[in-house]
Amino acid sequence: MKQKSVTAVTLGCKLNYAETSAILDMLLQEGWQLAEPGDRADLFIVHTCAVTGQAEQKSRQQIRKIIRKNPGSRIAVIGCYAQLDPGRVAGIDGVSLVLGTTDKFELAHYTGEAGSPGLAPLVVVSPVRDLDVALPGSSMLCRPDKGRTRAFLKIQDGCSHGCSYCTIPNIRGRSRSVPLDVVLERAAGIAGAGYREIVLTGVNIADYRDGQTRFPDLLRRLEQVDVSRIRIGSVEPDLLDLDLIGTVAASGKIMPHFHLPLQSGSDRILKSMGRHYDTATYRKRFIQAVEAIPGCGIGADVMTGYPGEGAQEFDEMYRFLESLPTAYLHVFTCSVRPGTTLSRQVARRELRTVPHAEAASRASRLAGLARRLEQNFASLSVGRSLRVLFEEGVGNPDGTVRWSGYSENYLRVDVDLDPDATPDAMRGSVHEVLVDGVGEDLHLTGRLLS
């Protein structure tokens, strides 16, 4: 009997990528095979995201595009957007199967029942339950285009912080952690498979807890795993304490890079958002980290257009951001999510929404600032050498190959190499690079030292 083929597209966060790998791994154990890139697949998985209104829209666009381009394939839509709005997803013509955030791990059991193209879709979306978070399967399927460079390791799921604008707790439940022994076993498996970097993923990873083991304890245990690099995903500012900063500062494996979501630089708005820190605390933790960890790169999420944000609050945020040596900014405009505290406050007219045009203009001002901050931080590395894990090489018109990868503090670095002068196994190897400039795309440029 012909082996059935499967492929997947993943939207959203690194956690979704780790989970897609685990789900594909389970299907392979059930006799499915991965479709070659560009080949037709019997089953096409769309792993969705719903963190913002824009993310939902992107999910719908992807679903429709995949249905158009893959006539005859069964389309399984899974994850956060399927959990948040299963009816709307099932209503998209061509969808065969809709699975929520907990049901998606049972995909292998539903493939037989999934509606064939043209038939009504099968919808299985259970209420969010605080299920075990340890991913079934091995969750480290290789990405052929990136070789065995970085693997995502899920250590935690859900969140109990309860920020007023956030829909994630409604979709993924409260904070839960993968048992320590499972995390260590998975990390050893990833190292054994030849990956050079482990990226720790979850929703609120620094909230990790297994008995007496807290996040810094877990990191110290992971240091014993035979892998070159361990990268921390997003850390909530209230959880970036001296123990965590000290653990990273003392480590040769944990990368000097934090993604520290700020959201707003106005204390009044931070309070309204229900965030667990004020600007003084954020600044203190930021400075403690950059002083303790040489070359540390700290990036941040910022959100503008939050209901109640006036010109004064926006200026406070702008000046606050200007005052910190941030490595990069991810700029979002606030979207009022259904089922959140914020949506109820807006409905009760306790908070006034910011006109779309005004929010868009503020976001564009922040994007300009983001580019300036990123340029400033990148240029600090000119004339210095950085250790870079190379991921991919693309041919240049002049016959050289542009190899790219991330430095330890998460700067993108490009090196142009003559194919004859290229070290063996460039993909997935770490090399010392002497930085000689910052490109238009804000990637660093340089030459190999080793």
CA atoms within 13 A on the CB side of 277: 21
Shortest CB 274 distance to ligand SF4, Å: 8
The secondary element (H helix, E strand) that includes residue 309 is none
Of 92, 83, 77, nearest to 46 by C-alpha is: 77
Strand, coil or helix: 41: coil
User: To the nearest whole angstrom, how small is the minimum distance from the Cβ of residue 384 to ligand SF4?
Assistant: 34
Cα separations (Å) of 219 from 4, 138, 202? Answer: 40, 20, 14
Give Cα 201 distance to the centre of its chain: 8
Amino acid at 48: T
Question: Read out DSSP for 332-393?
Answer: EE----TTSHHHHHHHTTSSPPPPHHHHHHHHHHHHHHHHHHHHHHHHTTTTSEEEEEEEEE
| Identity of the residue, 42 or 157, whose beta carbon is nearer to ligand SF4 in the bound complex | 157
What's the token pair of residue 244?
């965590």
The type of residue at 1 is M
Please report how close the Cβ of residue 166 comes to ligand SF4 at its closest, in angstroms.
3
Min separation Cβ 340 and ligand SF4, Å = 9
Instruction: Round to whole Å and give the CA distance between 63 and 52.
Output: 17
CB of 164 to ligand SF4, least distance (A): 9
CA angle 372, 376, 379 (to 5 degrees): 135
Least separation in angstroms between CB 70 and ligand SF4: 33
Identity of the residue, 134 or 163, whose beta carbon is nearer to ligand SF4 in the bound complex: 163
Instruction: Say how far apart CA 149 and CA 165 lie, in whole Å.
Output: 35
Least Å from the CB of residue 152 to ligand SF4: 17
Choice between 111 and 204, CB closer to ligand SF4? 204
Name the residue nearer to ligand SF4 (CB basis): 47 or 196. 47
Largest CA-CA distance found in the chain, in angstroms, rounded? 67
Element (H, E) at 56: helix 53-69
Q: How far is the CB of 263 from ligand SF4 (least distance, A)?
A: 8
Whether the Cβ atoms of residue 273 and residue 302 lie closer than 8 Å to each other: no
Q: Which residues bind ligand SF4 (CB under 6 A)?
A: 159, 161-163, 166, 168-169, 203-204, 236
